[in-house]
């Protein structure tokens, strides 16, 4: 029967023997390795962003304990180096060993650096890319004359003056600025987005829901540069007319604009969390005589708390690392004040504004990468918490107990 | 408690028995206001940008070069630069995204730790601030790959070790990778298990099944993912700030090692660093309008395709 | 015994911790129709899927015991699962044609087996469709999408698709459960004709169908094989009380 079909003979051990299929094997290997690429990318991002910031960690051969001794106040305790002036050279040897920096350039004085970078960095001037191209060669002058410990000692000050004879990298001012904007943005976006999500999932009819959801999610498609531009051109003037404050661009404007960017994220995730609350919960509540709104606020909302928490975390992550809006709407002055209507400078905006003008390998460059590492670690941690903690809680809530 | 469910419902809607439920009305009203406020803001932004940008918005604006120190003329090079960016980005990101999605739905075991790590990485990629991708592009693509390539092929002469359209596109492709993966995965999940079983029961191998049955079913997902990625990539600026975008170029990029102009970057530069911000305002709004039309319409198309996929799943 | 096609020895299947099949031992004769009956959840479909190793696809499934087809244990480490499935075809409960043309659906199996010659493929497609008694209905529209066929036609197309790989054994998992009476009787006729050439194992929850189509019947209950024997024997004088209860409709 079916003799024209050449495929099949009988059941024999031979015909059933395990076959090695090359295409099968290759396909699986290739597909798996491509998939692992995403893990690799995360690792590479961390490694490379962190690697560029490494020079600021070169405290000299001595470890942290010694570094503390070798501050300005006690130069004499650093036995082998007789004078302050020689100290940078001692430290220079370390980065050189790493192959990152050129030791011979260590002799160069601040003047050289000033010559190379004649511009002030407070506000970015035009043609940055052209300039940076010529500078970012491997041969570029590498400066680490201040020494890593000095760089570190300035981290916890409030002044951000990266380009001067004595550069100071006071991260405190940037941190405060970033926090200020983040808090303002979350105070606006959080309640708005969660209330909107509550309406969508608990009160809106199915048809209304199908209209509202895509519209609000459409907000996520607005590029941040567009929101930043809108804040810069429209919001800033609008709010200045209302409140009459001095600096047109400030933390408040930045916060409002970033809230617009965070709303769709918080809204979408919260709405999903609220909709995922089992029907039995709400039905039980309604059956006990609670009204619809009572059920929504006292049953559905608490049940969805972990998901909403995750939504807020991811919203914070978005605002914290948002660059374009910060660059365009916050005024970019690293001032330390509690006033929400003062200009601020955020971490991300600092990187965005200054990176193009730094010289490959110099302290400023490394510090910016260090800030980048901080941002990366922070967003990584936020995501990890949102993922593991919240997921665990949700599973416990709905299944376990 | 003697009220039945129906009575409670009635109480909520009419409240004739126990007086009007003011509190309830108020609470629901607040949530309603939140929704309306968000939607209003969205349309206000859209409206103002359309209103302010309409004056300059024309075919000529789109198709001509900027002139007079970018205070006049159009945005043609920025548009072309953005176009090249998203094309190169898609070429890099779509195959990787698709294959990763296929791995996750077809090869990864349910409880596999590696698959969980892959998923976690993808979600992390999706939340890493875009400026970090810019730093990575600078540190990895330009300083490491580019400089390495120059050392290997050009005898150290600077060619690849500087910002250009290739590095910017690759940087952007990392950013948009999760968008594509999520879309393709969603489409793959709608392919019924029965079809896979039918193929396997006929003696097809796993790869043959994926190639002949699973992949054809994922085409719409790949399309959605690509469109969403393009929409995202066209609008992002932070990753290209120092990986290849240029302030002004008199000519279009000729090769992948050239810098390029970009719509979003153009808006940023014009609105913050232009010599005369007031005077170029109409140009800025029109540029923003072009970018917004581009991203929103792409998004709309993706949403429509996606809802079709979802309907198929039901 | 020469006429035994499949011999099962102490086959047990676990879903994680749960034991879904308990030490099944039975023999399935060659070129006969064997029906597997029992209440839903009794393991009859699970058992069927063991025969061509479809359960391999489900994570956390563990199988012990032996499944000897022509004396070869198909769960042996050296046996290739893909080759097994080429020889043991399967028709599913829900008709599942590929979203391709009728022709492509039938040619799928031969193509993956490396047949590229157009004439040969045409011949296989026609033979298979004729065997499945659907040729006359579709011969003028082989290029149309298979999704446009009716449910009964789709199911016969799926049978034709299975035949196109020329298997030895055909497993049918409630092939007519979703079909109207006319389509069902067509499938049953088909089963009757096909047993000349193939060993057929059919899972059904419809006892009349089992009685009409099969030569042998096995009754499963709660993961155990209660009884197997000639169909008319099972239906007229079952040896076990549980079988009798089920057949007379006292449960299930």
Pairing type for strands C199-203 and C33-37 reads parallel
Comparing CB atoms, the residue among A24, A322, A348 nearest residue B205 is A24
Q: Which is it for strands C4-15 and C61-69: parallel, antiparallel or unpaired?
A: antiparallel
| Residues of C in Cβ contact (< 8 Å) with A18 | 77-80
Which residues, 6 or more positions from A77, have their beta carbon under 8 angstroms from its beta carbon?
Answer: A69, A70
Neighbours of chain C (3+ CB pairs under 8 A): A, B
Residues of chain A in contact with residue B92, where contact means CB-CB under 8 angstroms, are none
Whether B189 is in a domain gets the answer yes
Subunits touching B (CB < 8 Å, at least 3 pairs)? A, C
Looking at beta carbons, which residues of chain A come within 8 Å of B114? 36
Alpha carbons A275 and A277: distance in angstroms, whole number: 5
3-state secondary structure of C35: strand
Q: Which residues of B touch C96 (CB under 8 A)?
A: 192, 194-195, 197-198
Query: Distance from C213 to chain A by nearest Cα, in Å?
Result: 22
Whether residue C64 contacts residue C121, with contact meaning beta carbons closer than 8 Å, is answered with: no
Nearest CA in chain C to B217: C99
Assigned domain for B85 exists: yes
Query: What six digits make up the tokens of A260?
Result: 């617009």
User: B235 to chain A, minimum CA–CA distance in Å?
Assistant: 5
Domains, chain A, ordered by start = 47-158 (no CATH), 171-399 (1.10.3720.10)
Q: What is the pLDDT of residue A228?
A: 92
Tens of pLDDT, residue by residue over A99-155, are 333 333 333 333 333 333 333 333 433 333 333 333 333 333 334 444 555 666 667
CATH number at residue B146: 1.10.3720.10
Q: Tell me the C-alpha to C-alpha distance, in Å, between residue A376 and each of B120, B129, B130, B227.
A: 15, 7, 10, 27
Q: Flag if C165 and B195 touch (Cβ within 8 Å).
A: no
In a domain, B21, yes or no: no
Q: What is the ipTM of this complex?
A: 0.88
Domain for residue B48, yes or no?
A: no
Contact B31, A216 (CB under 8 A): no
By CA distance, what is A288's nearest residue in B? B5
3-state secondary structure of A364: helix
φ, ψ for residue C32, nearest 5 deg: -130, 165
Kindly report the nearest CA distance between residue B116 and chain C, in angstroms.
16
Structure tokens given for B218: 């994922």
Polymer length in residues for chain C = 252
Least confident piece of the model among A235-244, A391-400, B255-264, C140-149:
A391-400
Span A6-26, average pLDDT: 69
Handedness of CA B177, B178, B181, B186 (dihedral sign): negative
Indicate the pairing of strand C224-230 with strand C72-73.
unpaired
Identify whether B31 is part of a domain.
no
Asked if residues A325 and A254 have their Cβ atoms less than 8 Å apart, the reply is yes
Minimal Cα–Cα distance from A395 to chain C, Å?
20
| pTM of the complete model | 0.81
**pLDDT given at position A88:** 37
Task: Provide the pLDDT for residue B93.
Answer: 93
Provide block-wise average pLDDT over 10 residues at a time, chain C (252 residues): 78 86 87 87 86 83 86 83 87 87 90 87 89 86 87 88 88 84 86 86 86 88 86 84 80 56
Distances (CA, A) of C228 to A73, B14, C13, C31: 96, 67, 19, 17
Q: Identify all chain C residues contacting B109, using CB atoms and an 8 Å cutoff.
A: 59
Residues of chain C with Cβ-Cβ distance to B108 below 8 Å are: none
3-state secondary structure of C20: strand
Longest dimension (CA), chain C: 56
Task: For residue A64, name the pLDDT band (cuts at 50, 70, 90).
Answer: very low
- Test C123 with A19 for CB contact under 8 angstroms: no
B181 in a domain, yes or no? yes
Question: What residues in A contact C71, CB-CB < 8 Å?
Answer: 11
Residue B269: closest CA among A103, C206, A324: A324
Dihedral of the alpha carbons of B89, B95, B99, B100, in degrees to the nearest 10:
0
Q: Which residue has the higher pLDDT, A263 or A1?
A: A263
What residues of chain B score a pLDDT lower than 50?
Answer: 1-11, 13-17
Return the number of other C-beta atoms located less than 10 Å from residue A357's C-beta: 21
Is residue A390 scored above 80 in pLDDT? Answer: no
Q: Give A215's Cβ-side CA count (13 Å radius).
A: 18
Euclidean distance between CA atoms C52 and A260, whole angstroms: 56
Give B199's contacts in chain C (Cβ within 8 Å): 98, 108
**What are C31's two structure tokens?**
């070129």
Looking at residue B154, its pLDDT comes to 75
Rounded to whole angstroms, the Cα distance separating A251 from A330 reads 5
Strand, coil or helix: what is A399?
A: coil
The domain in which residue B95 lies consists of 59-313
- Measure CB to CB from residue A19 to each of C83, C123, C168 and give the nearest one: C83
| pLDDT value, residue C116 | 85
Name which of B304, C15, B293, C27 is nearest A221 in CA terms.
Answer: B293
**In contact, C219 and C195? CB cutoff 8 Å:** no
Q: Is residue B271 part of a domain?
A: yes
CA distance A277 to chain C (A): 28
Q: C219 phi and psi, to 5 degrees?
A: -105, 125
Q: How far apart are CA B29 and CA A20, in angstroms?
A: 67
Whether C82 and B204 lie within 8 Å, measured CB to CB: yes
Q: Cα dist. B251→A313, B57, B78, C124 in Å?
A: 44, 22, 11, 61
Q: B261: distance to nearest CA of chain A, Å?
A: 11
Helix or strand (DSSP H, E) at C216: strand C216-221
* Range A357-368 average pLDDT: 80
Q: How far apart are CA A136 and CA A9, in angstroms?
A: 69
Residues of A with CB below 8 A from C197's CB?
Answer: 1-2
Out of A41, A129, A192, whose CB is closest to B174? Answer: A41
> Please, which pLDDT band fits residue A222 given cuts at 50, 70 and 90?
very high
Q: Which of A5, A10, A17 lies nearest to residue C80, judging by beta carbons?
A: A17
Q: Which of A4, A7, A12 sits opposite C86 (nearest CB)?
A: A7
Residue A394: pLDDT band with limits 50, 70, 90: low
Residue A37: CB atoms within 10 A of its CB come to 19
CB proximity list for B294: less than 8 A, separation 6 or greater: B82, B231, B234, B235, B263
CB nearest to B121's CB, from A32, A42, A263: A42
For the CA atoms of chain B, what is the radius of gyration? Answer: 25
Q: Does A199 or B249 have the greater pLDDT score?
A: A199
Which pair of tokens denotes residue A187?
A: 């105070």
CA distance B261 to B86: 13
Q: Tell me if residue A58 falls in helix, strand or coil.
A: coil
For chains A and B, CB pairs below 8 A equal 309
Which pLDDT does position B289 carry in this prediction? Answer: 92
Look at residue A283 and tell me whether its pLDDT is greater than 80.
yes
> Which residues face C221 on adjacent strands?
C224
Domain count, chain B: 1
Rounded to an integer, the average pLDDT of A322-333 is 87
Is the per-residue pLDDT at A400 higher than 60? no
Spatial neighbors of C116 by CB under 8 A, at least 6 apart, are none
Whether residue B204 lies within 8 A of chain C, CB to CB, comes out as yes
The residue of chain A with its CA nearest to that of B29 is A199
């Amino acid at each position: 029967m079916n003799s024209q079909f050449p495929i099949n003979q009988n059941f024999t051990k031979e015909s059933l023997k395990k076959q090695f299929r090359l295409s099968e094997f290759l396909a699986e290997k290739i597909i798996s390795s491509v998939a692992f690429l995403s893990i690799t990318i995360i690792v590479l991002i961390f490694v490379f962003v962190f690697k560029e910031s490494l020079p600021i960690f070169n405290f000299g051969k001595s470890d942290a304990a010694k570094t503390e001794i070798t501050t300005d106040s006690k130069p004499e305790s650093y036995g082998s180096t007789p004078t302050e002036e020689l100290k940078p050279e001692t430290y220079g040897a370390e980065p050189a060993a790493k192959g990152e920096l050129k030791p011979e350039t260590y002799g160069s004085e601040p003047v050289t650096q000033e010559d190379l970078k004649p511009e002030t960095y407070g506000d970015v001037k035009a043609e940055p890319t052209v300039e940076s191209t010529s500078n970012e060669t491997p041969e570029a002058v590498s400066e680490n004359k201040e020494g890593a410990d000095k760089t570190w000692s300035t981290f916890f000050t409030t002044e951000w003056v990266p380009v001067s004879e004595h550069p100071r990298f006071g991260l405190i001012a940037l941190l405060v600025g970033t926090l200020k904007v983040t808090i303002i943005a979350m105070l606006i976006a959080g309640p708005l987005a969660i209330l909107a999500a509550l309406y969508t999932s608990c009160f809106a009819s199915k048809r209304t829901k199908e209209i509202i959801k895509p519209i609000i999610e459409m907000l996520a498609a607005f590029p941040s540069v567009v929101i930043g531009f809108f804040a810069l051109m429209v919001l800033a003037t609008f709010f200045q007319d209302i409140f009459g404050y001095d600096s047109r661009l400030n933390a408040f404007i930045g916060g409002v604009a970033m809230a617009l960017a965070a709303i769709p994220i918080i809204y979408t995730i919260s709405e999903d969390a609220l909709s995922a609350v089992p029907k039995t919960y709400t039905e039980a509540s309604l059956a006990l005589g609670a009204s619809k709104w009572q059920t929504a606020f006292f049953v559905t909302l608490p049940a969805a708390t972990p998901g909403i928490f995750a939504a807020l975390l991811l919203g914070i992550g978005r605002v914290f690392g948002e660059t374009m809006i910060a660059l365009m709407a916050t005024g970019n002055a690293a001032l330390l004040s509690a006033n929400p209507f003062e200009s601020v400078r955020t971490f991300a905006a600092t990187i965005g504004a200054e990176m193009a003008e730094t010289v490959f390998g110099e302290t400023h460059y490394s510090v910016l990468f260090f800030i980048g590492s901080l941002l990366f670690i922070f967003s990584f941690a936020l995501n990890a918490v949102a993922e593991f903690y919240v997921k665990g809680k949700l599973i416990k809530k709905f299944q376990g107990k | 408690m003697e009220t039945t469910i129906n009575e409670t419902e009635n109480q909520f809607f009419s409240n004739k028995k126990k007086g009007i439920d003011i509190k309830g009305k108020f609470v629901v009203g607040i949530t309603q206001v939140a929704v309306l406020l968000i939607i209003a803001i969205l349309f206000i932004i859209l409206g103002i940008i359309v209103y302010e940008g309409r004056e300059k918005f024309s075919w000529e604006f789109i198709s001509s070069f900027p002139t007079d120190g970018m205070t006049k003329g159009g945005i043609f090079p920025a548009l072309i630069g953005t176009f090249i960016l998203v094309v190169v980005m898609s070429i890099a990101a779509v195959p990787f995204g698709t294959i990763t999605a296929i791995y996750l739905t077809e090869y990864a075991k349910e409880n596999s730790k590696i698959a969980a790590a892959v998923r976690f990485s993808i979600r992390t990629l999706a939340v890493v601030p875009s400026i970090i991708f810019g730093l990575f592009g600078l540190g990895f693509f330009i300083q490491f790959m580019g400089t390495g390539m120059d050392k290997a092929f050009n005898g150290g002469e600077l060619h690849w070790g500087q910002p250009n359209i290739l590095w910017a596109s690759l940087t952007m492709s990392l950013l948009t990778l999760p968008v594509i993966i999520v879309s393709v995965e969603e489409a793959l999940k709608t392919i019924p298990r029965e079809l896979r079983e039918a193929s396997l029961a006929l003696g097809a191998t796993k790869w043959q099944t994926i190639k002949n049955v699973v992949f054809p079913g994922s085409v719409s997902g790949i399309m959605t993912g690509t469109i969403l990625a393009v929409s995202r990539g066209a609008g992002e600026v932070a990753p290209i700030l120092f990986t290849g975008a240029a302030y002004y170029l008199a000519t279009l990029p000729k090769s992948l090692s050239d810098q390029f102009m970009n719509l979003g970057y153009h808006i940023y530069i014009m609105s913050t660093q232009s010599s005369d911000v007031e005077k170029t305002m109409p140009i800025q709004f029109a540029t923003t309008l072009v970018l917004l039309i581009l991203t929103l319409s792409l998004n709309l198309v993706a949403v429509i395709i996606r809802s079709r996929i979802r309907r198929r799943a039901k | 015994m020469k006429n035994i096609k499949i011999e099962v020895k102490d086959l047990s299947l676990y879903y994680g911790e749960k034991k879904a099949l308990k030490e099944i031992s039975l023999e399935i004769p060659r070129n006969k129709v064997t029906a597997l009956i029992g209440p839903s959840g009794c393991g009859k479909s699970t058992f069927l899927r063991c025969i061509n190793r479809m359960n391999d696809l489900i994570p956390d499934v563990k199988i012990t015991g032996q499944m000897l087809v022509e004396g070869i244990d198909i769960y042996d480490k050296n046996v290739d699962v893909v080759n097994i499935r080429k020889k043991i075809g399967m028709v599913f409960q829900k008709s599942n044609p590929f979203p391709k043309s009728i022709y492509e659906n039938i040619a799928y199996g031969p193509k993956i087996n490396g047949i590229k010659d157009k004439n040969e493929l045409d011949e296989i497609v026609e033979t298979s469709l004729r065997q499945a008694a659907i040729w006359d209905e579709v011969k003028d529209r082989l290029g149309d999408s298979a999704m446009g066929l009716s449910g009964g036609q789709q199911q016969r197309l799926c049978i034709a698709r299975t035949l196109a790989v020329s298997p030895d054994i055909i497993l049918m998992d409630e092939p007519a459960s979703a079909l109207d009476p006319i389509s069902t009787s067509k499938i049953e006729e088909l089963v009757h004709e096909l047993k000349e050439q193939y060993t057929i194992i059919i899972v059904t929850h419809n006892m009349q169908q089992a009685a009409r189509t099969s030569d042998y019947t096995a009754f499963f209950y709660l993961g155990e094989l209660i009884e197997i024997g000639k169909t008319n024997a099972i239906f007229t004088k079952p040896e076990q009380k549980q079988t009798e209860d089920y057949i007379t409709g006292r449960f299930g």
